[in-house]
A and B are shown apart, each in its own frame.
Chain A
Amino acid sequence: MTTAGETAALDACCFIVAGHHFAVESGCVEEILRGGRPTRVPLAPPEVSGVLHLRGRIVPVIDMRRRLRLTADGAAAIHVIIRAGDEWYDLLVDDVLGVQSFPRGRIEEPGGDGLHDPRVGVVADDGHLVHLLDPQRIVQPLFRQRTSPVITHGASHVGSVA
């Protein structure tokens, strides 16, 4: 993931889910919200706990405990809004620690690479492991296989035409 010209350090937004440390590259983070009242979406994948209205967009809320198959007590109430491709997603996490800089040299390959594993790297920091997550890989497994051919259309994506 490193190419020439990139800086030697990776800035990442760190957060906690069920006691574990995770991080996403800070460049893809749009906003961090506390509270919020998601509207539930019947028939949505179980990891999607609802949608939130944010700056004119309808953003799906992904319950990161469910997504990462972790359990914890209490309700997670911090929303990390990230960009994956053209769309925004809201990661519901337990706590946000802030942006931290990790030297790229210290980032290692994650252990398992299951299909549903969103991790792209692991870095040891201050006595614990921080798992680096890739936005696309967080979201991708939630998409079902499409069966019918549909021409992609921009019908409602008014602002997406550059």
Chain B
Amino acid sequence: MVNDNREFIDEFLVESSENLDQLDRDLLALEQAPDDPERLASIFRTVHTIKGNSGFFGFSKLGALTHNGEHLLGQLRDGQLRLDDRITGSLYSMVDAVRSILRSIEATGSEGEVDLQDLTSRLAAVAADTREHARAERTVAVDAASLTPASSNAGLAADPRPVLPRAGSAPSAPAIDSPPASSAAPSTVPSPPEAVAPSPPRIEPQVPAAPPPPAAESTIRVDVALLGSIHDLVGELVLARNQLRSLEIEDPAIQAVAQRINAATNALQEVAVKTRMQPIEHLFSKFPRIVRDLAVTCGKEVHFVVDGTDTELDRTLVESIRDPLTHLIRNAVDHGIERPDVREAAGKPRAGRVTLRAYNENGQVTIEVEDDGGGMSVEAVRAKAIARGLVSAEAAARMPDERLLQFIFEPGFSTATTVTSISGRGVGMDVVKTNIESIGGAVDVHSRSGLGTTIRVRVPLTLAIMPALVIRCEGQRLAIPQVAVSELAPLRPDRPDGRIEGLDGNPVMRVHGRLVPVIFLDELLGLRERSAHREFGTVVLLRVDEREFGLVIDGLGGGSVTATRRAAEDIVSLTTIVVKPLGGLLSQIGVYAGATVLGDGDVALVLDPRGLLRAAHVPPQQAEARPAAAASGAAWIESDRYLVCRTSGGRRVAVPLNEVTRLEHYPASQLQPVAGRKVIRRHGGFTPVVDVDDLLGVPAAPTPEMVHLVIVGDTGLAVRQILDVVAAESPLHPHLSMPGVVGSLSLGGVATEVLDLAPPLMRSMAVAP
């Protein structure tokens, strides 16, 4: 029978799963307003529908369970029982049990081995308790009446949004003394499953099957696979349209037809994208229940606010953000919100607030998880980051708080035991980040100690169709998603604004007074030797996760390679591409987001700007690259003066002048090796000498005749040449992953790396060469 009905059962499963979501919502709402008759009727109908269907398909366990639930609900509806924690708990358990049975049916076709005897009898027992309950409820009601104004209702009045319930906060209702209706009799004993079939007939006429919501008239269910093939075909059509457009059509009649095909394709594409869209409500609707359960488990009071549920998102993306969002929300309740007594002591309302908010911004969807809990301690994060060697103490001290907090997304940042205020907060945050980034999204954190934390997730609306810039690199055409492109600039070695500096270390380019790291695409992709740096070309300025970098390419061009060669050098080629997945084998390379078919039928790979940053090991910058004279936060660096030196490798490096105690010169012969390190005898003692090349992790050149020492603390830094003392002209751009360097800034109009003088590093370098 089961197999014969597979198609119907599938439909039943889909419908039931929606019904269960509705049940969760209704139950949550019912807790706020236990006497809402419409809510109760809706719950009753839903359970009744599931019961009816399970009877039809012969799922006896499901039938027995929902029968008992229905009975209990009937008593609630008829006013014989009033909702309390015990009843709510039983109803939630029932919903969970129904869900697990449905899962089992979906997977195996049968109800599985779940033992429901316990739950079934609990439901029956709760229902049977009517009389006793009515009495008990009265007492609670009295208590509630006296409690209400003082505690939760005070807060409630100010804020109309739903608050997770506290026992007895409901207004008292007229007590019910009438005996239970005789029809309740069957439930005075736990109903065995067999008792289901003849369900009390009195219910049937009273309760029509769930009336379809008005929307049902205008919507139909469509198989996702079918939608998928429509999208594929629209994609093919868009490609053919692009090909058509690239043809030179003489005949005006054909031109007109091509125009119409073009317009229709554009419109069709827009509609097709819309069919992929789903209101985020579908995803958000699961969270109130999760928050409620977690709050109960943790002994916390949480006021959960959901906003912007009508924001739409590609349904495949909805699935991809489900787990990361769940994690963030759990974190907010579990680790963000403090216990009620702690909150009271801090002068906050007992109930914490967690806000889940979605909105559209710049063609992306932003989702925020905000809590008004304890916030994260920047100091704790700083200490932790230093302890884990993610940043030097020096650099950490200078880092803006916002930037420091981003360390919580580093892999394993808080797996170790750590300061209480952040413990657990970072668990799995790296996984959240990885998952969000894998769909082209971004995540960042803002937190103020004592006031709360906001985690902001940004994801693209859709991955399938997007405007992109088609570029050329060593004869290969590649596409860059336009959303990441901020500017195009020609490479001009003759002008300070178009020149690439710091070729040995981190190449950077000056853009509007900012120093921006530069990636040579040909080099990164292994299409050209590292030594053969180009001087001319085009730089595409990209911005991802508030980080800016330049990508050096040959030029732009959407036509075929030969066509663009004939055409002018720089043809901006912005086109709509249909992104197709590359498959597991090639996505593991990490720099491609997919592939697309160009107008001439050739395949072009779509670059993933975030992947490029990762692959090129471009160190994270300050969150906001500020112009030199801007924000006051940069003042500390502008007043600084630096000693600029040259290393034996030819690099320009700088040391903050206030760190330098003396400049001295010695013949190299005076350097003495002691216990595997070099020291120099000066002022009657031995001073360890560190070659700056060692510090930078490059092989040391042969020692010259004269050694120039920059004395910093109790160590001498050996450099090849001391150049000048210069005032900083730009804020420091921290480079986290470069050994020996805290960052770079502009000194005397040239990008210069600033040495990291963190004493522990100095000592360890001096001890172990």
Interface positions of A (Cβ within 8 A of B): 37, 39-45, 48, 51-53, 56-60, 87-89, 139, 142-144, 146, 148-151, 153-162
Q: Using A155-B438, A156-B579 as known contacts, list a sample of 15 further A-B pairs with CB atoms less than 8 Å apart, ordered by residue number in A.
A: A39-B605, A41-B592, A41-B605, A51-B582, A51-B603, A53-B601, A58-B581, A143-B588, A144-B588, A151-B320, A153-B435, A158-B227, A158-B276, A159-B228, A161-B224
Which residue of chain B is the closest to A162 with respect to CB atoms? B225
Which residue of chain B is the closest to A157 with respect to CB atoms? B581
A52 near B603: Cβ-Cβ < 8 Å: yes
Residues of A near B765 (CB, < 8 A) are none
Residues of B near A156 (CB, < 8 A) are 316, 463-464, 579-581, 594
B225 near A43: Cβ-Cβ < 8 Å: no
Identify which of B227, B431, B584, B591 gathers the most chain A CB atoms within 10 Å of its CB.
B584
Residues of A near B603 (CB, < 8 A) are 39, 51-53, 58
Residues of A near B317 (CB, < 8 A) are 155
Distance of A21 Cα from B195 Cα, bound (Å): 68
Distance of A41 Cα from B477 Cα, bound (Å): 11
Which residue of chain B is the closest to A59 with respect to CB atoms? B583
Residues of A near B709 (CB, < 8 A) are none
B605 near A158: Cβ-Cβ < 8 Å: no
B602 near A58: Cβ-Cβ < 8 Å: no
Nearest-CB distance from B431 to chain A (Å)?
5
Nearest-CB distance from A35 to chain B (Å)?
13
A161 near B225: Cβ-Cβ < 8 Å: yes
A-contact bits for B64-107, CB 8 A (1 contact / 0 none) = 00000000000000000000000000000000000000000000
Which residue of chain B is the closest to A52 with respect to CB atoms? B603
Identify which of B236, B582, B591, B592 gathers the most chain A CB atoms within 10 Å of its CB.
B582
Nearest-CB distance from A13 to chain B (Å)?
21
Nearest-CB distance from B468 to chain A (Å)?
15
A87 near B601: Cβ-Cβ < 8 Å: no
Residues of A near B225 (CB, < 8 A) are 159, 161-162
Contacts of B389-439 to chain A: CB distance below 8 A = 411, 430-431, 434-435, 438-439
B319 near A48: Cβ-Cβ < 8 Å: no
Which residue of chain A is the closest to B474 with respect to CB atoms? A42
Task: Flag whether B644 is at the interface (Cβ < 8 A).
Answer: no
Task: Flag whether B639 is at the interface (Cβ < 8 A).
Answer: no
Count residues of chain B with CB under 8 A from any CB of chain A: 51
Nearest-CB distance from B470 to chain A (Å)?
13
Which residue of chain A is the closest to B229 with respect to CB atoms? A159
A42 near B411: Cβ-Cβ < 8 Å: no
B320 near A155: Cβ-Cβ < 8 Å: yes
Residues of B near A158 (CB, < 8 A) are 227-228, 231-232, 276, 316, 464
B579 near A153: Cβ-Cβ < 8 Å: no
B525 near A43: Cβ-Cβ < 8 Å: yes
Residues of A near B597 (CB, < 8 A) are 53
Task: Flag whether B527 is at the interface (Cβ < 8 A).
Answer: yes
Which residue of chain A is the closest to B321 with respect to CB atoms? A153
Q: Which residue of the partner chain, among A41, A42, A59, A154, contacts B319 with CB atoms under 8 Å?
A: A154
Nearest-CB distance from B735 to chain A (Å)?
22
Answer whether A155 and B605 are a contact pair too, CB < 8 Å, given A87-B583, A139-B585, A148-B411: no
Nearest-CB distance from B592 to chain A (Å)?
8
Distance of A16 Cα from B231 Cα, bound (Å): 37
Residues of B near A37 (CB, < 8 A) are 602
Answer whether A87 and B585 are a contact pair too, CB < 8 Å, given A58-B595, A148-B411, A151-B435: yes
Nearest-CB distance from B104 to chain A (Å)?
20
Distance of A88 Cα from B582 Cα, bound (Å): 10
B439 near A148: Cβ-Cβ < 8 Å: no
Task: Flag whether B323 is at the interface (Cβ < 8 A).
Answer: yes
Identify which of B225, B316, B430, B464 gathers the most chain A CB atoms within 10 Å of its CB.
B316
Which residue of chain A is the closest to B438 with respect to CB atoms? A150
Q: Which residue of the partner chain, among B235, B276, B438, B586, contacts A153 with CB atoms under 8 Å?
A: B438
Nearest-CB distance from B425 to chain A (Å)?
18
27 pairs across A/B with beta carbons < 8 Å? A39-B603, A41-B605, A42-B525, A42-B526, A43-B525, A43-B591, A51-B582, A51-B586, A56-B235, A57-B580, A58-B581, A58-B594, A58-B595, A151-B324, A151-B435, A153-B435, A155-B317, A155-B320, A155-B438, A156-B463, A156-B580, A156-B594, A158-B231, A158-B232, A158-B276, A158-B464, A159-B231
Task: Flag whether B253 is at the interface (Cβ < 8 A).
Answer: no
Distance of A48 Cα from B588 Cα, bound (Å): 13
Contacts of B556-579 to chain A: CB distance below 8 A = 579
Nearest-CB distance from A51 to chain B (Å)?
5
Residues of B near A157 (CB, < 8 A) are 316, 581
Which residue of chain B is the closest to A47 with respect to CB atoms? B585
Task: Flag whether B589 is at the interface (Cβ < 8 A).
Answer: yes
Distance of A60 Cα from B604 Cα, bound (Å): 13
**What 5 A-B pairs have minimum CB-CB distances, sorted nearest first?**
A159-B228, A42-B525, A158-B228, A156-B581, A153-B320
Distance of A39 Cα from B525 Cα, bound (Å): 14
Nearest-CB distance from B539 to chain A (Å)?
19
Task: Flag whether B476 is at the interface (Cβ < 8 A).
Answer: yes
Residues of A near B525 (CB, < 8 A) are 42-43
B584 near A143: Cβ-Cβ < 8 Å: yes
